Amino acid sequence: MRVLVTGGAGYIGSHTVLLLLEEGHDVVVVDNFSNSSPESLRRVAALCSRAPRLYRVDLLESEKINQIVRDLAPDAVIHFAGLKAVGESVAKPLSYYRNNVTGTLNLLDAMESAGCRNLVFSSSATVYGESTELPLVETTQRSATNPYGRTKLHIEEMLEELAAADERWSIAALRYFNPVGAHESGRIGEDPQGIPNNLMPYVAQVAVGRREQVNVFGGDYPTVDGTGVRDYIHVLDLAAGHLAALDYLTDRTGSFVWNLGTGEGSSVLEVIQAFARAAGKDVPYQIVDRRPGDVAENYADPVKARLELGWKAERGLEQMVQDMWRWQENNPYGFPEEASDSYDNDELNEQLLKAASTVQSSSKPNNEGNQK
């Protein structure tokens, strides 16, 4: 199947592109590198001896997106591209609505005019707002507490309306819980710009010596040890969920929604302790005030995805932190710095082909994914 992946150079996108290539799909990535670099995809190509085709393009460039979708005629689209920092969305709501909502509209228009109507969308458990009804099931009432969350909510609603209006569309919204971890090679992983907003990358940067200590936001929640509880999910399990959703959509139309979580909660202190064991060193922390907007606890009911997609998360917290640590230890400052416009599209694609063919692997070099 030819799959167009928006935001495919990013954290979750790069792991999903790897799985798609490994499964033999023909993969086309579009990314503007606003929060990533082409290096993630060079490493993906080296890991699997296959190259995706890559376009550096912004979803807001509607003409270019139209042309790419028309020329490439993908069978399905996985749509990761978006801005994702909650705090930044409060400071810059218009950028978030423009990038996430308008970007998605441009993509949908392009898909519609090319006759490609299979879509898997990156939604988020953020659409459950401050719900305290646990575990969170797909039928829990949705709400938003910040502009980022509202972009996800609006997009989910838009997608449902689209599928209701035109029965040729097949759409899956996947509500991720807290994605963490990295590919077991330690070659690709999460590379946050600036101070990480999320717990796990922050802990990893403390463990590797880039930051002094973890600030634990609140020690007086009504939870197992007073700190916040979340459903952390390994990024490779998450990536596998996308392949299962693509498969599900192949012979169905309509709009569907699934939680992608483990169903298990871990507290902030449990995460810090697990990470310290994986890294073999202390991870210093201090308890500070609660972070405004945080709920005490949330975790998924993952049953719907298991029954309908045949998917469930396989990796536990220990493996998440071990893989995260391998990535962080091998790449303490993430991917090497590179100006986002260093190379044009032809050069980027040549680099990907080269990376795919230089890997020392017994698997056959197969670059068909890089051909139109």
Binding site for ligand NAD (CB under 6 A): 7, 9-13, 30-36, 58-60, 80-84, 99, 103, 122, 124, 176, 179
82 binds, among ligand NAD, ligand WQD, none (CB under 5 to 8 A by kind): ligand NAD
| Smallest distance, ligand NAD to C-beta of residue 58, A | 4
| Smallest distance, ligand NAD to C-beta of residue 251, A | 26
| Smallest distance, ligand NAD to C-beta of residue 176, A | 4
Out of 62, 198, 253, 273, point to the residue binding ligand WQD (CB under 6 A). Answer: 198
Out of 41, 57, 111, 268, point to the residue binding ligand WQD (CB under 6 A). Answer: 268
Total site size for ligand WQD, rule CB under 6 A: 18
Task: Give 38 or 261: the residue with its C-beta nearer to ligand WQD.
Answer: 261
**Distance from first CA to last CA of the chain, Å, rounded?**
13
With vertex at residue 195, the alpha carbon angle to CA 194 and CA 200, rounded to the nearest 5 degrees, is 120
CA distance 304 to 260: 9
Question: Tokens 């202190």 map to which residue?
Answer: 269
163 binds, among ligand NAD, ligand WQD, none (CB under 5 to 8 A by kind): none
Handedness of CA 325, 83, 338, 2 (dihedral sign): positive
34 binds, among ligand NAD, ligand WQD, none (CB under 5 to 8 A by kind): ligand NAD
| Smallest distance, ligand NAD to C-beta of residue 88, A | 11
CB atoms within 10 A of CB 259: 28
Task: Give 236 or 358: the residue with its C-beta nearer to ligand NAD.
Answer: 236
Please confirm, yes or no, whether 148 is among the known catalytic residues: yes
- Please answer whether residues 157 and 304 qualify as being in contact, where contact means their C-beta atoms are separated by less than 8 angstroms: no
- Please answer whether residues 149 and 127 qualify as being in contact, where contact means their C-beta atoms are separated by less than 8 angstroms: yes
- Please answer whether residues 268 and 216 qualify as being in contact, where contact means their C-beta atoms are separated by less than 8 angstroms: yes
| Smallest distance, ligand WQD to C-beta of residue 289, A | 10
Nearest to 82 by CA among 182, 154, 170: 154
CA distance 260 to 136: 11
SS3 275: helix
199 binds ligand WQD (CB under 6 A): yes
Nearest to 265 by CA among 226, 298, 219, 307: 298
Q: Interacting stretch for ligand WQD, rule CB under 6 A, among 64-72, 159-167, 193-201, 335-343?
A: 193-201
86 binds ligand WQD (CB under 6 A): yes
- Please answer whether residues 260 and 238 qualify as being in contact, where contact means their C-beta atoms are separated by less than 8 angstroms: yes
CA distances to 138, 214, 224 from 288, in Å: 33, 10, 18
97 binds, among ligand NAD, ligand WQD, none (CB under 5 to 8 A by kind): none
DSSP H helical ranges for the chain: 11-22, 39-48, 62-72, 86-91, 93-96, 103-114, 147-165, 199-207, 235-249, 268-279, 303-309, 317-330, 345-358
241 binds, among ligand WQD, ligand NAD, none (CB under 5 to 8 A by kind): none
Out of 131, 215, 319, 366, point to the residue binding ligand WQD (CB under 6 A). Answer: 215
12 binds, among ligand WQD, ligand NAD, none (CB under 5 to 8 A by kind): ligand NAD
> Which one of 148, 221, 232, 299 is the catalytic residue?
148
Binding-site ranges for ligand WQD (CB under 6 A): 84, 86, 124, 126, 178, 197-199, 202, 214-217, 228, 230, 268, 291, 294
Q: Write out the catalytic residue numbers.
A: 148
